[in-house]
Amino acid sequence: MADLEMLVNELPKLVHSLKLTIGTSHKIMEEIILINSVQEQLLNIKKLITKELRFNKDINTTVSTFSRLNSTKSLVIFNMLPTNFANGKKEFIIAKFGNPEAKISLTDLQAKIDCWIEWGYLIQAIATDILSDSQLVSKLDSHISYLSLSTEIQNIDASLNINLGFGNSKLLQQQINKINYTQEELSQTQQRLGYIVDTIQNSQNMLTILLGVSCFCGQSGFALEWLDDDHELIISSEGNLQELTDILNTCDSLKEKMSNLVLHSNSLKEQAEKALIKTEQKLSKKTIINPQVEKSAVINLQSEEVPKFSTQKVISLTLVIASSLVVLGFGSQIINNQNPQLQQMNLITQEKSAFANFKSAQNLGMEAAALVQNPPHPLAVWKQATTKWQQAIELLESIPEETAISLQAKKQLASYRVNYNVISKRLLTEQKAVANLESAQKLTTEATFFVQNSPDSEQQAKAKWEQAINLLEAIPEGTSVSIQAKEMLPIYQTNYANIGTKIQN
């Protein structure tokens, strides 16, 4: 019961992380691994709830049992989510997490966990579909280079906040150039807005719709949070929860704002051009300099004496300079003659090696992530994935700090270590599940031997059947042997019951 209570209290955090953040292909692969980890924990909680329900046949007993877990407080998600999420739309939060103020029975909680697990499978499928479409991945990558649409329009608005430099022709021309550039940006942003609205509003394909959303969010990024009949697709970006309809409404308001910016920019440009014409007309009336003054200045300049050097002095000075250069050059060659070409080659080789190791690590990471998609998998697959993550980590650790790729490698290393830990735990779970199955089979063989060859050892046989049943029940769902364990469990329970009856008689 203590384990179940602790895990139920962790549910809000688990469900909060059950989302798909749309990013680069590498980021999506990492997301798949994290989703797998959350799925495992949810399956474990569901299994513990199933065990608890076995001892509570009456529904009222179920409710009271969950009361012992303090059900009223166990799903208070507002205190466990980030602050900006707590200020989001409450109906969206309730749609995904459930009502934090309502009591819930273990049976209802189990059904809710089934919904979360199903959502996990859906976003895993979406992630796999994205990764299988190289053109889609390329477009998503290009959208990450944009500012978010709202930020882009704010910047355009700020750039048009110009106080015209009346009377200064140079400043006016600079301002006109700036307005022209801003108008080009405005035109491109209007095209981007049209693409976003058309893609989200008129597409029936989920992946195409995601392209429109990614173009809207740009560098801010977004995540798929939840999907249901009442609230469509709920996404999050910069801590805000919203539906596709909310994005379209925002686009409508931004469209109106851009129309006003177009009018403002045209008016501003017209004022600047008129001011420039007036300023240049004033400058054209400037008094011309007196030609006599210019001529006098030239005569004075020509009459100035130029210092003279004798030929002998020039030759001597040249020899001194030349000999100095020879001495300095020879000394420099002695000091710096440490085979600079070889040093340069070593630096180039080091950079090439570091970059090659970085790319190899990325490839290993992608291979490891691809291996564990759509579990369950046999033990060998988890071992192979763990090995690849370990190899990728070792390659990143080998990259010297003085190389250009070092900083990027450090960021990747932190992410890879998280993935390695997740997969290592999954490997241990799989190993334990396989060991439990093998031990259970061995115990049943021994129990059968006792019954057939030693009638007086029926009590020992019963104990072995019981141990075997406990081992099978401890095998987590989602492991490669869980289905086999489920098929074997009723047989073992029947044999255990039969031998118990026999002993009693």
The 10s digit of each residue's pLDDT in 77-86 is: 444 444 445 4
Of 282, 300, 319, at which residue does a domain stop?
Answer: 282
User: Are 363 and 263 in the same domain?
Assistant: no
Residue 139 domain-assigned? no
Where does the pLDDT of residue 66 fall: very low under 50, low under 70, confident under 90, or very high at 90 and above? Answer: very low
481 and 378 in one domain? yes
Q: Are 147 and 44 in contact (CB under 8 A)?
A: no
Give the domain extent around 94: 2-132
Q: Is residue 341 part of a domain?
A: no
Distance CA 38, CA 32 (A): 10
The answer to whether the beta carbons of residues 435 and 476 sit under 8 Å apart is no
Three-class DSSP labels, 31-79: HHHHHHHHHHHHHHHHHHHHHHHHCCCCHHHHHHHHHCCCHHHHCCHHH
Which tens digits make up the pLDDT trace of 229-243?
666 789 999 888 889
Report the run of H or E that residue 224 belongs to, with start and end. Answer: strand 222-228
For the record, the structure tokens of 85 come out as 């999420």
Please tell me whether residues 114 and 172 are part of one structural domain: no
Q: Identify the band that residue 256 occupies on the pLDDT scale cut at 50, 70 and 90.
A: very high
Same domain for 273 and 407? no
Residue 254: pLDDT band with limits 50, 70, 90: very high
Residues 125 and 182 in one domain: no
Q: Are residues 22 and 158 in the same domain?
A: no
Q: Say if residues 145 and 24 touch (Cβ distance below 8 Å).
A: no
Q: What is the pLDDT of residues 133-169, one digit of tens each?
A: 888 888 898 898 889 999 999 999 999 998 887 878 8
pLDDT of residue 381: 92
Q: Identify whether 334 is part of a domain.
A: no
Contact assessment for residue 450 and residue 495, using Cβ atoms and an 8 Å cutoff: no
Instruction: Kindly state whether residues 90 and 173 are assigned to the same domain.
Output: no
CA distance 67 to 74: 10
Are 112 and 239 contained in the same domain?
no
In terms of Cα–Cα distance, which of 129, 127, 119, 121 is closest to 226? 119
- 364 and 463 in a single domain? The answer is yes
**Which of the listed residues 251, 266, 282 is the one where a domain comes to its end?**
282
125 with 156, same domain? no
Q: Which CA distances in Å does 198 have to 215, 222, 225, 429, 466?
A: 12, 19, 23, 47, 63
Bond prior to 376 in cis (omega within 30° of 0): yes
- How many domains does the structure of the chain reveal? 3
**Residue 103 sits in the same domain as residue 203:** no
Residue 311 placed within a domain? no
Q: What is the mean pLDDT of residues 44-56?
A: 79
User: Would you say residue 324 lies in a domain?
Assistant: no
Q: Which helix (H) or strand (E) is 240 found in, with range? A: strand 240-243
- Is residue 95 a part of any domain in this protein? yes
Is 337 inside a domain boundary?
A: no
Lowest mean pLDDT among 143-147, 334-338, 377-381: 334-338
DSSP 88: S
**Tens-place pLDDT, residues 283-332:** 777 644 444 444 444 434 344 444 444 444 444 444 444 444 444 454 44
Residues 377 and 483 in one domain: yes
Tell me whether residue 463 is in a domain: yes
Contacts 24+ apart (CB under 8 A), 252-260: 254/149, 254/150, 254/153, 254/193, 255/193, 255/197, 257/153, 257/157, 258/153, 258/186, 258/189, 258/190, 258/193
Choose the final residue of a domain: 233, 250, 282: 282
